[in-house]
Amino acid sequence: MGPLNGVKVIELKGIGPGPYAGMLLADMGAEVIVVERARSPNGISFPASVDINCRGKSSIALNLKNEKGVETLLKLIESADMLLEGFRPGVAEKLGFGPEVCHQRNAKLVYGRVTGWGQYGPLSQVAGHDINYISLTGVLAATGESAKPTPPLNLVGDYAGGSLFLVMGMLAALHAAKETGVGDVIDAAITDGSANLMSVIHTSASIKAWQPNRSANMLDGGAHFYRTYETSDAKFVSVGSIEPQFYDLLLERAELDSSLFSDQHNPGKWREMGIELEQVFKAKTRDQWCEILEGTDVCFAPVLDYTEAPMHPHNKARETYIKLNGITQPAPAPKFSNNELSKPEAPRKEGQDTEVILQSVGFTDSEIQELIISGAVPPE
């Protein structure tokens, strides 16, 4: 079930944004076939059977350095709607399944490529990771305490700037292909995507409402009304009382002296008022502040870690988390009114569905055995 029911995706196994993009498509109902390089973990990622990003997918093992292995992949592509890969530029072409070859087999194919630096540019052939990509686009410089940039995990680069822009581009191209019969190649560079995410910062800077220094702006922890505060039990809460009516409610509910916290949007007073609020929030536990502020228009939430978040009543009410194979994990998102999303199937082992997938595209048992003997399909 799901809005992508009937869409067939070939995912060439990689790390980071590629598998996550494939999971998003599978969560939406697409049939996602992961092409593994072997039937056992190869050291470049988590074992598939415990990797959340592998849920809802089937798995085939192919040796893509073997001519018959590549030909088998091209046979799969003939009946696919999408393919996604995260190789360095030129690698797929060198191995024999670049976009030109694939489109000769399937003109409607949407060929998605996700890399850090993109398919071209001075850095396109250079190794890198999320921290490097967001460094180049201004994201990292704007994140963290004033003294030092702090990586926001690898969420902004790999997954927001990479996976989400890849999926958006592939779905847009799929829509166009259905209208025109012509596929496309999506060049999803994490640098491009993370730069795009900074649009609101560029807007703010253009009207002199943002400065390059960290912890000096309204949304980066500089403002006393938009930051986190430690509580008496060494936990934290977050406040985001930007609008004046929400700010006034914060002052009221926290029993603050309004004369000390006037002139809310004067950056010259933010540090002084922040120091005062630090002492106020340290006077109570996180749970006590939740009793006072949670559920009001103060714009408040406790800062929960990944073990606490699934237990929060709001997340439980919305079924934001599920369990598969005993592993707590985020549920598919977003939710639809007319397309119910199935609970994902648990991840499969590397190559677990090889024979079934080959049979589904017309290979006979004897032909499958020939592929195994030739080395195109890794043995059990």
Whether omega for the bond prior to residue 334 falls within 30 degrees of 0, making it cis, is yes
d(CA 118, CA 193): 10
Mean pLDDT of 349-365: 95
Q: Is the pLDDT of residue 285 over 80?
A: yes
Q: Is the pLDDT of residue 40 over 90?
A: no
- Cβ atoms of 7 and 29 within 8 Å: the answer is yes
Q: Is the pLDDT of residue 35 over 70?
A: yes
Mean pLDDT of 313-332: 96
* Phi, psi at 34, each rounded to 5°: -90, 125
* Phi, psi at 347, each rounded to 5°: -60, 150
Please give the mean pLDDT across all residues of the chain: 96
Mean pLDDT of 338-360: 94
Q: Is residue 122 helix, strand or coil?
A: coil
d(CA 254, CA 275): 15
Helix ranges, 10-60 (H)? 17-27
Residue count of the chain: 380
pLDDT of residue 43: 62
pLDDT of residue 230: 98
Give the start-end residues of each E strand in 244-351.
Answer: 300-302, 321-324, 327-330
Domains and CATH numbers, the chain: 8-197+322-374 (3.40.50.10540), 226-230+236-302 (3.30.1540.10)
* Phi, psi at 115, each rounded to 5°: -140, 170
List the catalytic residues.
129, 158
pLDDT of residue 44: 60
Q: What is the percent of the chain where pLDDT is above 70?
A: 99
Q: Is the pLDDT of residue 10 over 80?
A: yes
Task: Please state the pTM of the whole predicted model.
Answer: 0.95
DSSP annotation of 379 reads: -
Q: Which residue has the tokens 């390059």?
A: 212
